[in-house]
Chains A and B, each alone.
Chain A
């Protein structure tokens, strides 16, 4: 066997490390197409059963695009998609998401070509944000709407986004951006 440069060398023989089956309880979820298994526990690299999904996304996976603002389900800044539907990641325990498919703002668009989702492009074209803090949550809520209803009315977009707090008042540009993206998708 020819050893590769990064294979561990133990006792004069080359071995390839084999994954050890964890003996402790784990939780597994898929985030933006990648499956992650976490050991449950209170250690610094484990997932506490009391951790919310947003904690796990931000602190364990470094996906800081999902924001914490009110941290009690009132503002929508932490919105992500679970199985394609909008959920509030500050109101879900990570252990509740076992086996689920999660999409965050970082997971939109084409991961192969690196191009952004048409909805994101529409937000750029309409300057549909100001400070941009609430924007990931707003985009994820709008994405969930378009998944279910590709051609919403203005009122339907308003209703779908009514749980998203935007303090700069970019609402009007957001509505234009979402409707334009929906229209564009239909052409």
Chain B
């Protein structure tokens, strides 16, 4: 039985009315008086030196207010370590910015781009991660010999987890009953592709204050980052609702820098909105992940060792690839309990559109290659994968090295119960016929099932702060730098505060996402909204309530802790005496301001398992996703509809469908992306939905007052490997890379020439 008034009950999103009536203003919907439009000239070559740029004609076009080249832009840099200039004398991928224009209209800006004359000196280019590592391969950056991004950088603290080397591999080899070696890859670099393209407005006040209205999943962190990178400048960010992000709009400097540079040059606000082609061909995609690995298993499913080279293709620059590697290495230990690891990642740059942050953050990229390797060993050992995961997924008391390089021990839940319930709901035992055996067959159509697992301990990552202000009229205002990016988190923190203060939800609101009025907020990433952001808000609300009761206690002649409040009236607990309104304590001229802060805690891994059933037409090679069952345990549901929405999100945004048809196709002769539009980049439509069901357990977790953790980020992550397993089982041939397009299926079945498996590029 749900004991709460708001928590766990479906309530309309606070922003619902504005969303369904079109009033919600996304960054692209805003305009400022005197605003100019920014445009970016992009490189047609994958690797070249800019010999000369002639901007004379463009600058002369009426309506053009500024044209900037690498010689004039500020020397701001992004990336890890800092290596990406706003504009450079060298271009490293097709789509790399070459010049910036600010103009009175978008049309004039585009016309001006056509008038800029650039002379390039082409350089040889490299796209494959292993070719980029070869001696003599084209080098992208002078400072990165061998195209390898350095490890010795500060990300998530001074000693981030950059490899996983523990125990004794030789002992693991000796203990193994089965050893398997192989290569699996997840290199189709899908685009999370939110419907809202990267968009921003930048404006300067004087020369020392920059205000940015970004489409950003973490606007407060953007303020902190820009403040650091831009030097002695006051940066203010005002986040607006984000039209989808899925991680991709957390790091926004790629589009903020050009707008800020043009705004500085012209002294006017500049709006920059990427076109869809720019979004698909010049914005960050997933990391490419290739794993040469070796794994040992005992007959009982114990993993005795894992060793391997994890080759991470980050494209033309590292947005935060080393950080994603750190999280990936951490998450590997949650999926398999193993005493002996030797997993060595290398982050490598190549001449294609850069990779960046996408939900799954390194973990999904590694897992999509690691789990298929493990299944080869399970096959040899004759193990059922569900039983394997039940045995091997991290349990309370198990330890792991996390992204900060420190050893943490789980205080969480044993998720075996959720796995068991998920398997029963899916009908796993009836459908599972063994490795590489279809579940059923009907002429040329064969069905298969597969399962994948994922989890992170990032639900408690990083710092959140919040203030909760009580006003005498019985309302509460949350000061939080949280941007709404679709999960309903801004509404959910209102529910938490309403629950603590026992006031109607209508009486709780959140401040605008303005860095000038809010304390620090890292942002809703890593499924941290419920535990970390919620934790700060809960603490602030409790603090405010305590202050209120101190003010009210004298009116009752009791101690503050004897009081309770409901619907804006305070009373003595367990007594039928008077009920006095908040204003009695605060008077009309006072408020209570509670402060809350969440400190990082990596002891609570979350969990997601996905079961899939596919049908393969062995005549055409087409794969249909028939059914998906997700299984998780969230401790306590905050809002049922928002949760199912997030879990249903497992399909797109570079999730399950990246196993089936989603890919960014690179022409490796010219370095160009061939499907940079929404007809050639395939996405799932309303007409092709699989049956979808979720098993959601609520075993109270030791997180905060409501015993909940989030799972939104990880909802898609177990999906691709589950689909790979299901298709392999359906056709009886093991597949080792993605996406499973018809040509790949037919090749695997011997119906088309060429080797199956890896080697798309």
Q: Interface of A with B (CB < 8 Å)?
A: 44, 48, 58, 63-72, 74-75, 77, 104-106, 108-109, 116, 120-121, 123-127, 129-136, 139, 157-159, 161-175
Contact = CB atoms under 8 A, between A and B. Distances in A.
Nearest to B10: A127
B646 A130 contact: yes
Given A44-B104, A168-B486, A139 B20 contact: yes
Chain A interface mostly helix, strand, loop or mixed? Answer: loop
A166 B651 CA distance: 11
B17 interface: yes
B641 A161 contact: no
Given A130-B486, A131-B194, 9 more contacts: A109-B21, A126-B641, A127-B13, A158-B686, A159-B687, A165-B195, A165-B683, A169-B652, A172-B648
A131 B243 contact: yes
A172 B195 contact: no
A70 B196 contact: no
Nearest to B679: A74
Q: In this complex, which of A105, A136, A168 has the most chain B Cβ atoms within 10 angstroms of its Cβ?
A: A168
Nearest to A159: B687
A49 B397 CA distance: 69
Contacts of A164: 686
Interface of B: 10, 12-13, 15-17, 19-26, 28-29, 104-105, 107, 192-197, 241-246, 275-276, 484-488, 639, 641-642, 644-646, 648-653, 677-679, 683, 685-687, 689, 692
A158 B689 contact: yes
B685 to A, nearest CB: 4
Given A108-B21, A133-B243, A169-B653, A125 B12 contact: yes
Contacts of B192: 167
Q: What are the 3 tightest A-B residue pairs by CB atom distance, in nearest-first order?
A: A65-B22, A133-B243, A131-B486
A173 B345 CA distance: 40
B135 to A, nearest CB: 42
Chain B interface mostly helix, strand, loop or mixed? Answer: loop
Contacts of B683: 165, 167
Contacts of A48: 107
A136 B13 CA distance: 16
Contacts of B686: 157-159, 161-162, 164, 166, 171, 174-175
B118 to A, nearest CB: 25
A131 B17 contact: no
Nearest to B17: A124
Contact of A168 (B275, B649, B677, B678): B649
Given A69-B195, A70-B677, A124 B641 contact: no
A67 B195 contact: yes
A48 B105 CA distance: 12
Nearest to B685: A162
A173 B686 CA distance: 11
Contact of A65 (B21, B107, B487, B687): B21
Given A125-B12, A127-B10, A159-B687, A173 B20 contact: no
A68 B650 CA distance: 25
A74 B678 contact: yes
A168 B22 contact: no
26 contacts: A64-B22, A64-B25, A67-B195, A69-B678, A72-B276, A74-B678, A74-B679, A106-B22, A106-B23, A116-B21, A120-B20, A123-B16, A129-B16, A129-B20, A130-B486, A130-B645, A130-B646, A133-B195, A133-B196, A159-B686, A165-B678, A166-B652, A168-B244, A169-B651, A170-B645, A171-B648
A144 B25 CA distance: 24
Given A132-B243, A162-B686, A168-B486, A69 B20 contact: no
B661 to A, nearest CB: 14
A130 B107 CA distance: 32
A138 to B, nearest CB: 9
Contacts of A70: 276, 677-678
Contacts of B487: 130
A127 B17 contact: no
Given A69-B195, A127-B488, A158-B686, A170 B648 contact: yes
